[in-house]
Structure 1
Amino acid sequence: MASPGPSSPLASRSMRQRTPAASNPGALPPDVLFDVLLRLPAKELCRLRAVCRSWRSLTVDPLFTGAHAARHPGPSLLAKFRDDEASIHVVDLSGTVVKRIAGPDGHELLCTRLDLACVATKGNSCRVLNPATGAAYALPESPALEHANCENLRDPYTFFASGRVASTGECKVLRVFNRTEFDAFDQQQLFEVFTINGGASNARWRARESHYPFVEANNAAVAGGVVYFLTDCAYDLMLFFGVNTGIHPDCIASFDLVTEEWRRDIQGPISSSLSMDNADATEEYRSIWHKITLTELKGSLVLAYHRRNLSLDLWFLSDFENGLWLKEYSIQTESAIPADEYFVKPLLVSDGGRLVILLASTGILLIYDPRTNTFAEVEMRRLDAVGIYTGNLLSLQCGDMV
């Protein structure tokens, strides 16, 4: 659908109603000004708000901000750079920083797809930041009442995941209290849920059922209001010592944020095609634990597998109930991604079909163009973490515009 412009009766009528007639004969008519400003990127518009009251009134008007978002649909990123522990940045795909947001030191940015930024520490501190208003909300560190006396809480080691429930619009945070010792399989991982702005009745953590096998809480993805986890790489160590647990590296657990319950586990598409008949096969099987990543693309859960032969396969979950996967990408990566890169995470597919990929160990962001089968590195500082910002850039009125 075309964005409202000077030929749009709705836009012209609205601007005539809301903007005083120009007394200066050199001033642009309101509908022409609407169309001119509509063509500018959000970063420049935010600066131009300081020109005069009428320009500010126009660029914050819901009619204009909606038309601008439709005309400039390009995705934006939430980025934390390795050389800046105290800030979160809103960045476009060219690497240009649109806004800098003050954040707490020592907190990692969660990879979310929200109009909010979530930051957390392994030591049980989690905060939710609103890039539009500058507001910050600290989640309580105290556990759910049911977990108050659990051994895991003596020295908290936590992970967080956050997503939105489409039916209610609520944003929920899932907290995982990990085992106090890496190999302490006699302990449970503890899971709790918190609803952001859920009212007084929800302003506390709610204990939820634990899950076995243990999940790899720092290799998770949220798609369709469901948090997906890979199984813990500790099972890889058990296999190394000759203990075959029967748990595959691409076994995936899923927690439904709507019902706040676990769904059944599903098997990924990788390990079923491999066997462990000899030492080489066993080594290849074990290497899978460190070569797969979960992500969300185009609204679907995706398993990314960075193969030994320097290719990146992307498997889309097409049918959860029947455990069906479709391989939609098989990308040759020898010219762009090192063979020993251990965490290759696709972040999004742009409207033009380009794939944005994070190389976590080096902090490099790549853009892959399937039409030319080429990679380009985004020119920016090295990344510590990155997520997708779904908010309207013209709402970024607070904080440091850069």
Structure 2
Amino acid sequence: MRFAVKGEVLDIHSGEHERRYVLVDRGRITAIESSVTGVEVIDASDKFILPGFIDLHTHLMEDGFRTESKLEDPLSLYFYRALENMRATLQAGVTTVRDAGLADLGVKMASDSHIIQAPRMQISVTPLSITGGHFDFHTRSGLNIERRYRGLPSGICDGIPSVRKRTREVLRAGADVVKVMATGGVMSSTDRPSDTQFTPSELAAIVEEASFRGKNVMVHAHGLQGIKNSIKAGVHSVEHGTYLDKRTARLMAERGVYLVPTFLVTRLNNDKALRGELAEYSRRDAIEVAEVHRENMEMAYNEGVRMVMGTDSGVVEHGMNLLELSYLTETGMEPLEAIRAGTIHAAECMGWEDRIGSIEKGKIADIVVTEVNPVEEIDELSRPGNVLLVVRDGIIYRDELVS
């Protein structure tokens, strides 16, 4: 498909914008010109052209991790609901995600071949968890409500031989990145967010196994000791980072470890807890995490930690992803820097900066057109109606522009 998009092209490096035509041909940006002829033009004059956004922490297959869904719903319904999650994410302007658990290789293949409306994705397949840890789905009654099917191996592992085997299994299943639960979490009934999970030697073994296949490790880590153990082991990114301290933040900055703060899930879970909408075992944790999270994320930013966009959508509603950019500015980030955190810097975290993350000749044609200038009105970016056009791989998935 060959076409051009006319509008104010935002240079995410400088923050400047200029009226230009972005030419698209066979899924790539082929030129950025001041005029064009002989090609269909999508007129977005006075609107803003940005690269597609990147969310580094989603659970596309989930819609709240509801216990009743795991107990009652047929497996096929689970997949049909996931289609709506993916559609909502793409329609919001997120053209690429790093899925943090439960999207399998078949889901990625369906997205890559465009037979479903979904963002491009890197997948972790199944997160690794200790017995009784944050991704062990045994209830307190002893019932196991984990969804299992061919292509989605169990992630429960204990001891070095076991963690090596499970890492190899998720890589065999198609994982692009290995996800590890290094601490407890808010939504699990058998642990607390501060609980340390996996020993330093177990984490080091996981990182080593992943490295043999050229893969990185992302860790869910709220508690300080779990964060420290993960950094020492050589992980690529820390998700959440709630109880991070200044000394450890400096170590993250020195080693170039990314921090994915997931403000969205922290804020929305806190709101739900205050309204009494979370399970009793999660309410206290959600409120406590929210109380310390913002201050520690501001500290991490000031210490120079590389911070990138991720929402934990799937724990909370899909399609609200760009609200994370507004929350990132509360750390002290300028709006342009927050936009980079959700575009080129996120692409760097994925190792895809040569493909996506900016509007440049030769890159994949992932394009978003917005009603507002996000550098000046970043708080408005996530409001309904402000994302007008979404293009992924040169295919138009949303077009709200008036011809």
Same fold (TM over 0.5): no
TM-score range, shorter chain: 0.3 to 0.5
Using the size of structure 2 for normalisation, the TM-score is: 0.33
More strand by share: 1
Structure with higher RCO (Cα < 8 A, 6+ apart): 2
More helix by share: 2
